[in-house]
Structure 1
Amino acid sequence: MLDKAPELPSDIRWHFIGHLQSNKVKSIVEGVPNLAMVETVDSTKLADKLNKAVEASGRAGTLDIMVQVNTSGEESKYGVDPGEAVALATHVAKNCPRLRLAGLMTIGMPDYTSRPENFVCLAQCRAQVAAALGRAEADLELSMGMSGDFEAAIGMGSTNIRVGSTIFGAREYPARPKSPKSPEAGAASS
């Protein structure tokens, strides 16, 4: 995003999706002035860092965020447990004036699909967050559904889907260099 944003039109509204390390917050906020949303806020520490970075950047207004919820319970996934969504959303609403809670999001299963119960779980989290904050459920987005399961997600109330691979094709990841400890690397250097 830091490389692509300066090369593309300034009216693009960027959404950051993925695990954001707290030590990268300042560079994302400052390096992408048209950053519209961070969809993957999964801790009070990250929310606090984003709030401070937005304030320090001098940008006008607030930055939209979504609370990431690990609805599948997979250890490989980031996100708060469903039972912690209200606490994180409340923290953002009460302690982060430069952030605006736009909704909740979840990532699909490893094959980029989700079971209906994952979508139901996120909708239940939204209902609990809305009740705790005195907001209408319709005012909180549900970001769920990707290229492999977006139709089911829409049917279950998703207001924000992520279909990049359907539009742009599968992502190509650069080859990783061999580790110096791997047998292949050792053989090549002998």
Structure 2
Amino acid sequence: GENYVQEVVAKAPELPDDIRWHFIGHLQSNKVKDLLSVPNLHCVHTVDTIKLANELQKRAAQLRPGRPLLVFAQVNTSMEESKSGCKPDEIAALCTGIRSSCPALELVGLMCIGKYSASEGGSDTDFACLVQCRVTAAAALGTTPEALALSMGMSHDYEAALAAGATHVRVGSTIFGKRAAKV
């Protein structure tokens, strides 16, 4: 997984083409075309508005016809202003909007970034909120909650995320070490 569009665009041509890239960072509409230029982009975990979904739809239909782009709807479960994502009470509308108006996208689940807390279990309420959002979204989509994946948990809280039902965790800093500070 990659957090920055410019980094995945630069790395992808240098690495084996059978890598299935997951984009896990905040995505601005003006960066969608660059991101979708990565031929082996597999999934975007951070679709937080129908506007972004529509832009991904437009570019995916142009740049990768016949290859649906997997997407997760991002929910701001912590309600922190610094975090992206729709509000929990907007998840049904976002998911039904993606399913009904974005045929080049395949909605596969929901994603959140839990509140960072130095105490054990600080993200548990965020994970519980996302699990409830999955129930709400599934009902709106006419499917079962288990049909929607859950992308939640990072290096500091992945165990709690897995215990809460995560199907995808983001553990890059555990594997690769902490990212160098940007200057």
TM-score by length of 1: 0.88
Letter of the structure 2 residue corresponding to residue 102 of structure 1:
V
> CA 1:14 to 1:111, structure 2 compared with 1: closer, same or farther past 3 Å?
farther
Matches within 5 A, 1:95-106: 95-106=101-112
2:67 alignment partner in structure 1? 61
Question: What's the Cα RMSD here?
Answer: 1.3
Please give the alpha-carbon distance, in whole angstroms, between the structure 2 residues aligned to 1:114 and 1:65.
Answer: 26
Letter of the structure 1 residue corresponding to residue 179 of structure 2:
R
Matches within 5 A, 1:148-187: 148-175=156-183
Determine if contact 1:71/1:81 at 8 Å carries over to the other structure. yes
How far does the alpha carbon of each residue in 1:11-65 deviate from its partner, in whole angstroms, 9 at most, with x for none? 00001111111011011102x1110000000101100000000011144320000
- Which sections of structure 1, spanning at least 5 residues, go unmatched? 176-190
Of 24, 31, 36, 1:24 maps to 31
Please give the alpha-carbon distance, in whole angstroms, between the structure 2 residues aligned to 1:105 and 1:149.
Answer: 14
How far does the alpha carbon of each residue in 1:160-187 deviate from its partner, in whole angstroms, 9 at most, with x for none? 0000000000011232xxxxxxxxxxxx
Letter of the structure 2 residue corresponding to residue 71 of structure 1:
T
Letter of the structure 2 residue corresponding to residue 83 of structure 1:
D
Please give the alpha-carbon distance, in whole angstroms, between the structure 2 residues aligned to 1:51 and 1:125.
Answer: 23
- Report how many aligned residue pairs link the two structures: 174
Please give the alpha-carbon distance, in whole angstroms, between the structure 1 residues aligned to 2:45 and 2:54.
Answer: 15
Query: In the TM superposition, what is the alpha-carbon distance from 1:148 to its structure 2 partner?
Result: 0.4
Please give the alpha-carbon distance, in whole angstroms, between the structure 2 residues aligned to 1:115 and 1:3.
Answer: 33
- Which sections of structure 2, spanning at least 5 residues, go unmatched? 1-7
Letter of the structure 2 residue corresponding to residue 138 of structure 1:
E
Q: What secondary structure is seen at the aligned counterpart in 2 of 1:85?
A: helix
Larger Rg: 1
Of 81, 87, 94, 2:93 maps to 87
Please give the alpha-carbon distance, in whole angstroms, between the structure 1 residues aligned to 2:137 and 2:43.
Answer: 19
Determine if contact 1:103/1:141 at 8 Å carries over to the other structure. yes
The reply to whether residue 40 of structure 1 matches residue 34 of structure 2 is: no
Please give the alpha-carbon distance, in whole angstroms, between the structure 1 residues aligned to 2:158 and 2:72.
Answer: 18
Determine if contact 2:116/2:123 at 8 Å carries over to the other structure. no
Q: Which runs of 4+ in 1 moved over 6 A?
A: none
1:2 alignment partner in structure 2? 9
Determine if contact 1:69/1:85 at 8 Å carries over to the other structure. yes
Query: In the TM superposition, what is the alpha-carbon distance from 1:135 to its structure 2 partner?
Result: 1.3
Query: In the TM superposition, what is the alpha-carbon distance from 1:128 to its structure 2 partner?
Result: 0.7
The reply to whether residue 109 of structure 1 matches residue 134 of structure 2 is: no
